[in-house]
Structures are given as structure tokens and as C-alpha cells.
Structure 1
Amino acid sequence: MKKENILLLAASGFIVANLFTTIEKHARLSPRKVLFDIKKELKKDKGFYDGWIEHKTVPFKKLALTHDAYHGGILKKENAKLACYEFWVDSKTGSILKICRTAQF
């Protein structure tokens, strides 16, 4: 191969790799997938009732890091009453950043 072809091939490979890295870095999980996964895990625990999730991300600061997060909530039956929980989930990894109990009926 000529030097020009090798340089062109190397430059093309670099550009494609950089493009895939950029796309992967900014890729987000769908909120439906996140909620589905959370519901799937919670159904193992008796008493799970229902859940919701916002489709827009919100900034969520945890320690020194700011995450793009989905905000949602679940209803769960505890001691014959409904308990409400709110959660924030990282939109890129699906990791739960925070979950807290907000009310009981």
C-alpha cells in the first residue's frame, strides 16, 4: 500500500472511532426501559403496586458530580397501607442515585 492510502485509512479509522465514542458517551437509556427494569426488580418483593417516570432528564447532584437523571416514583403496599417512594436514576447507566419515602396512605 502507498503511504497516502495508509494515512487515509488511519485517519478514517480515527474519525470513526471518535464518532462512536461520542455517540456512546451521550447515549441515554429510554425512561420506559429504566422503569421496566425497576418494576421487574420490585415485583420480586411482595406488595409492589405501580410506578411512573418522567421522560425528561433533570440534573441531579450527588457529592461533587452532577448526573442527568430520570425522576420517578413507585407505590408499594406496606402493612395494609400504600407507601409512596420517589427515585432518581442515572439516565446513562440506569443506576439508582437516590430513593426516598415521601408519604404513606
Structure 2
Amino acid sequence: MKMNWGTFILGAVAGAAGAVATQKYVTTSTYASADKALKEVKEAFKAEGPIDGSWIKMKPEPYKKAGINKLVYKGGVSRTIGQEREQYEFIADSHTGTIMDVYRTY
């Protein structure tokens, strides 16, 4: 039985191209935008009053709590109520942008 090298090479190239395209799709589509998570938090805080500032780490980082292992974005919001400055931090799921936790810092 004689092997057809042209068909073999064509199949290998097509397989490699498919693998590269799949990897590119998975790595670019598995994370929600950090800006999306920050926008969601800011809208929730603005519903209760003005905010002074906000921030978010653009690179997801590991988060482990109560058996949950995820990659998350961490950020914060500050505002002034009367004479008191309040600062909050939040944790958002990096895959969906959903806010997982918000807590006041002192």
C-alpha cells in the first residue's frame, strides 16, 4: 500500500490550523471584560448616590473560598456620604462578569 504524502500533509496542515483557531477562540472568549464588571458595580452604587472613584485590576487572579476555585477580577469603589468617606471592594467572576461579593473596607 502506497501512502499519498500530499493528502497526509494537507490533513496535518488543516488539523494544525483548526487547533490554532480553536485555541485563539477559547482564550479570547472565555473572559468577560473587566470593564463590564466595573460598569455593573458603578451602576449599582450610583443608584444609591454619587461615587467619587472606582478601580479594577484588569488581569484575573485566582480566588478560593469555601471550596470554590475561580479566576476573578478585584476592584473597588469610593464615595462620600455626608462627611464620611466610604470605600468598598468587590470580586467579580472573570468568565461572566457577575459580581460575587461586595464588602466595605475600613
Verify same fold: TM over 0.5. yes
CA–CA separation in structure 2 for the residues paired with 1:55 and 1:68: 12
Gaps of 5+ in 2: 1-17
Aligned to 1:43: 46
Q: 2:103 aligns with which of 92, 100, 103?
A: 100
TM-score in terms of structure 1 length: 0.67
Number of aligned residue pairs: give it.
Answer: 84
Alpha-carbon contact 2:89-2:104 (below 8 Å) kept:
yes
Q: Deviations over 1:30-84 (max 9, x none)?
A: 1112111211221111142221000111111121111110010110223421111
The corresponding residue for 1:62 is 65
1:53 aligns with 2:56: yes
Matches within 5 A, 1:1-105: 23=26, 27-103=30-106
RMSD: 2.3
User: In terms of Rg, which structure is larger?
Assistant: 2
Amino-acid identity (%)? 29
Q: TM-score, normalization: structure 2? A: 0.66
Structure 1 unaligned blocks of 5 or more = 1-14
